[in-house]
């Protein structure tokens, strides 16, 4: 099968996948990392970062975005790798949503002294002190289904060359996802530090 035929087959597969996804309700029993007994946002977040470190996940997300808006080129990675990352991100998004539901009492207070802008990244000072705010804001603006759809569209456009480009509003969901990655990493990092302090 030549490259043109492969791309056509991939496009048809993706198109059918996205049409089904638009009509299906959000599945919180994520097939990638099923949690049968008790949903745990923190557990899913931890699993995600065992597969992808923070820098690698943000870089891959940015790379997908970059190629999704380019008309004459496509991402040169194995599509299976990109699909796996998309599925991982979908589980991560569910983890964030579950975290807002299950961990309402979780608060993190961190002193802002000697905290540089580089450390903050896209997070505000309030979000750095309490990363839960990042998830609350994200899910006030977009549903889990809408984040899923955004990711699928970005992957679709990044893997091929098309005459049209993604919808205009792609920056806001991308920023929310990037901030959620930073926030989740902070939450897990502080959880480990707090556990260590309690032991000491």
Whole-number pLDDT of residue 25: 40
pLDDT, tens digit (0-9, with 9 covering 90-100), for 78-133: 899 999 999 999 999 999 998 888 765 555 555 555 555 555 778 998 999 999 99
Whole-number pLDDT of residue 150: 93
CA distance 166 to 68: 7
Provide mean pLDDT across the span 18-33: 45
pLDDT, tens digit (0-9, with 9 covering 90-100), for 170-180: 899 999 999 99
User: What pTM value is reported for the model?
Assistant: 0.75
Statement: residue 21 has pLDDT above 50: no
Using N-to-C axis directions, what is the helix angle for 132-141 and 79-102, rounded to 10°?
A: 110
CB atoms within 10 A of CB 122: 13
Provide mean pLDDT across the span 130-153: 94
Residue with the bigger pLDDT between 197 and 165: it is 165
Are 112 and 123 within 8 A, CB to CB?
Answer: no
From 183, 167, 189, 158, select the one nearest 60 (Cα to Cα): 158
Whole-number pLDDT of residue 27: 43
């Amino acid at each position: 099968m030549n490259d043109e035929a492969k791309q056509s087959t991939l496009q048809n597969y993706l198109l059918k996948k996205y049409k089904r996804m638009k009509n299906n309700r959000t599945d919180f029993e994520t097939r990638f990392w099923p949690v049968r007994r008790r949903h745990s946002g923190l557990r899913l977040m931890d699993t995600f970062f065992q597969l992808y470190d923070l820098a690698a996940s943000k870089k891959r997300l940015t790379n997908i975005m970059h190629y999704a808006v380019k008309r004459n080129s496509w991402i040169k990675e194995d599509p299976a790798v990109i699909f796996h990352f998309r599925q991982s991100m979908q589980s991560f998004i569910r983890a964030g949503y579950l975290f807002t539901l299950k961990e309402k009492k979780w608060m993190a207070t961190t002193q802002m002294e000697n905290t540089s802008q580089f450390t903050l990244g896209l997070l505000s000072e309030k979000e750095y002190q309490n990363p839960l705010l990042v998830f609350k804001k994200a899910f006030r603006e977009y549903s889990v289904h809408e984040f899923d759809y955004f990711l699928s569209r970005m992957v679709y456009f990044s893997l091929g060359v098309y005459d049209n480009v993604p919808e205009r509003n792609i920056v806001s969901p991308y920023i929310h996802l990037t901030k959620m990655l930073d926030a989740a990493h902070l939450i897990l990092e502080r959880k480990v530090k707090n556990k260590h302090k309690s032991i000491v």
